[in-house]
Amino acid sequence: MSNDLRVGVVGAGLMGADHIARITHRIAGAVVSAVVEPDAGRAAAAAANAPGAQAFARIEDAIAADAVDAVLIAVPGQFHEPVLVPALAAGLPILCEKPLTPDSASSWRILELEQKLARPHIQVGFMRRFDAEYQALRALVASGDSGELMLLRCAHRNPSVPDSYTQTMLINDSVVHEFDVVPWLAGSPVKTVEVKYPRRNSLSPAHLREPILVLMELENGVLVDVEMNVSVQFGYQVATEAVFEKGLARIGQPSGLQTWRDGRFSVADHVSFTTRFAAAYDEQIQRWVNAVRAGTLVDGPNAWDGYRVALACEAGVKALDGGVIPVEAPERPAFYA
């Protein structure tokens, strides 16, 4: 009998379907044993990439049927808590797509539940930490080879967003990634958040005022600006320039196929996060599967990191209305040391 980890994927939309395909085709040591998806069409489409998986409408049913050893949550953020609660109660390891939950109060409730277990069981899907370029930049910061880090200039550009994307999603759905990865890169938490508005892009959905410039000060004095820009039309770009005392570093530059034709030189680049971060998602899921099989359960951002990000997002949402908003966090429980 195979001892592959039996993963139940909850939500088979864009990310859930992508993760199902990667577990089935690219990840070693795991199979998709259950797909929990209320939309019958999506469930059927996902089943094609998950041979042998059982279909359920609710996570509670998959748990009751003893169909899963671990849970991957890929439903929209407002539905994370109702899946996290029964999965934690069953003592199952969890990979939860970002955000942990949509606000700090609900994230705190999850921390309280998780602390009833012997060790952390939740990893949060901040996949940028698994991107090779982000890892190289973090190693450069830690090495001190270029002197101290002073500034991070971040660009986060999406080609377009659907009409359902709201003003607060600029923070909660998009800058949420920088609120995780910037402290991880710079080795220091976010102290304050401020938002500035440049001239509006007339191609944005009518209800959005964007792009925005998010300014963060970190506890260690590093200043960070994030250009959050979701109607750029030309492609998907996540890039960072790090300014050190005696050097510069850049990640996220176009690196695809180069062509030179008819007097024009061009480089193919991404139009979606699904390709830009494909290798990072693979690495994230493989390392999670390895950690669960080894019994360490988490190898990446944990629920405490998810809670810290929720606090920063709340400051970010307040900052959309003006002001320099402090991010205040309680002491980290020893459980997450």
Ligand X SMILES: O[C@H]1[C@H](O)[C@@H](O)[C@H](O)[C@@H](O)[C@H]1O
Which residues contact ligand NAD (rule: CB under 6 A)?
Answer: 10-16, 36-39, 42, 74-77, 79, 97-98, 125, 127, 273
User: Least separation, in Å, of the C-beta of 225 and ligand X?
Assistant: 17
Instruction: Please enumerate in sequence order all residues whose Cβ is within 8 A of that of 112, keeping only pairs 6 or more positions apart, or say none.
Output: none
Q: Position of tokens 């602390």?
A: 115
Q: Which does 120 bind (CB under 5 to 8 A by kind): ligand NAD, ligand X, none?
A: none
> In the set 174, 229, 240, 302, which binds ligand X (CB under 6 A)?
174
- 8 burial class (0-12, 13-18, 19+ CB within 10 angstroms)? buried
Q: Using the CB atoms, write b or e for 267-290: b if 16+ within 10 Å.
A: eebbeebeebbbebbbbbbbbbbb
For residues 105 and 244, what is the distance between their CA atoms, to the nearest angstrom?
Answer: 37
Looking at the Cβ atoms of 135 and 146, the one nearer to ligand X is: 135
Helix, strand, or coil here: 31? Answer: strand
User: Least separation, in Å, of the C-beta of 273 and ligand X?
Assistant: 4
User: Least separation, in Å, of the C-beta of 262 and ligand X?
Assistant: 33
Looking at the Cβ atoms of 102 and 183, the one nearer to ligand NAD is: 102
For residues 78 and 101, what is the distance between their CA atoms, to the nearest angstrom?
Answer: 6
Looking at the Cβ atoms of 217 and 283, the one nearer to ligand NAD is: 283
Q: Which does 189 bind (CB under 5 to 8 A by kind): ligand NAD, ligand X, none?
A: none
**Does residue 240 interact with ligand X by CB under 6 A?**
no
DSSP 79: G
Q: Which does 174 bind (CB under 5 to 8 A by kind): ligand X, ligand NAD, none?
A: ligand X
- Which residue number places its CB atom closest to ligand X? 174
Tell me the window of 65-73, 172-180, 260-268, 328-336 that interacts with ligand X (CB under 6 A).
172-180
> In the set 56, 179, 273, 307, which binds ligand X (CB under 6 A)?
273
CA angle 92, 97, 102 (to 5 degrees): 105
DSSP 51: T
Q: Compute how many other C-beta atoms are within 10 angstroms of the C-beta atom of residue 38.
A: 12
